[in-house]
Structure formats: structure tokens, C-alpha cells
Amino acid sequence: MAIYEDLDGKIALITGGSGDIGEAAIIELARQKCVVYFTYNSSKEQADGIVTKLSETGTKVVAQQCDIQNKTQVKALVEQIVETEGRIDILVNNAGIYKDNLFTTMKDEEFEDVIQTNLFGTFYCTKAAVDNMYRNRSGVVINISSIAGVTSSFGQANYSSAKGAVIAFGRTIAAELAPKKIRVNTIAPGLIESSMVKRIPRNIMKQTLSAIPINRLGQPSEIAKVISFLASEDSSYIVGQTIVADGGLIMR
């Protein structure tokens, strides 16, 4: 497994750390010897478990409760990290929610909540972190979108809209921030083995797997490895891109 020596000692903030991809990202960046802060909203027990599990590695991992829909909380969190560590080098915008429903029966709040968390939350966290990166003329922002933001996703008008907007947001700010040595890229995972995917009925999952050329679900650790690559200097010439990691699903 790749080790990126330039990540040693970097300060990383990962939102939505108690989710499957979030936890994998924490483990991966801790393996790369980053100092890792991560947010959770309500899963305190799970967040504490992650910290305990990684405490034996000797790497500093800190869990922070934060509602990323609340820009005041987000700003306070970033200020606290900067006060403690002096800077933020890496931001991974991973936190997100989904509330699937057919468009004709989707409630206003189902659409609004998903947009607020997935898009507005990404904006609030990026704005707060980039203010510090801008002063340091250095930083990496990695947004976690979804193939739902790249192609149609039945019953996910809200989620697809949010994740598509995250891709457009990342591409636009990448152009603005690149001259200041801040790199922004986006990852669009396909079907990843997670608590979300486990809720898909077995017959639908069987059909979906048959449509994936490599005939399997992705692993959270595989997305985490893309995150560490994009955070490292090995990807220094990759800017404003959306990396689709879906086993070839949308290729068909």
C-alpha cells in the first residue's frame, strides 16, 4: 500500500467521520501519519470507538461533534483546530445524508434537508477551511460526491441534485483557488459496501451487481486510498477533476 511521505504531520479535517467512507478515510490518513480531526453529528459512541481503535497507532485522531448545516458551529470548529494546530492542510467534505423518495411524493423538507447538508454543508466547511488555507497559500480540498451526481438515480432527485451541485462547486472553486496553491478535486463513488447499500433489496442489488463490469461492490478503503492520493503531492497536477470510482458502472 502506498505511503506518501509528504502527508506525514499534515493536519486533516474529515466531515462525516462516523460513516463508512468517513471512517475508512480517517484510518487511511492516520496510516499516512496525518493529524486527523473528524466530525460526527449524533453518532458519539461510534466516533469514540474510532478514536479508541486508532489510539494505539500513536497518531493523533480527534472526534468533534458538529452539525455541518450550522455555519456557526463549522466556523468555531475550524477556528479551534487552527488555534490548536496552527493550520488545516487537508479538508475532506464527506458528510452527507439521503432521503430517497419518488419526485411526485417527495416532501419539501426531504429535498431541503438533503440539499442543506450535502451542498450547503460542503460550502460552509470549505469556506471556513479555505480562509485559513488562503493565508498559508497551501491546501487540499477533496469533495465526496456520488455517481448519482453524474448520472440519473431513480428516486433521488434531491440527492442527485445535491451531489451534482457538489461536482460543479468543486470545479468552479478549483479554478479560483489553484493560483493560491490550493487544489480542489472531487471523488464520485459508485456502489460502496456500506450501511446505505445494505438497505437495498436483494433482488435490486443482484440486478445492479450484474451491471458493474467488475461484478462487485466497492470497499470504503478503496475510496480512502483515492483520498490519500489526491491529498498527496503525487497528485500535484490534478486540479478541478471528478474521479469516478464505480467499478465501471456508469461506463455502461
User: What residues act catalytically?
Assistant: 159
Query: Within its chain, how far is the Cα of 7 from the centroid?
Result: 18
Phi first, then psi: give them for residue 21, nearest 5 degrees. -70, -40
CA neighbor of 136 nearest in space, from 173, 75, 85, 180: 180
Radius of gyration, CA atoms only, the chain: 17
Q: What residues pair up with 63 in beta bridges, in sequence order?
A: 38
**Cell match 436483494: residue?**
202
Q: Are 247 and 213 in contact (CB under 8 A)?
A: yes
SS3 call for 156: strand
Cell of 226: 483515492
**Cell match 445494505: residue?**
198
Cell of 124: 460552509
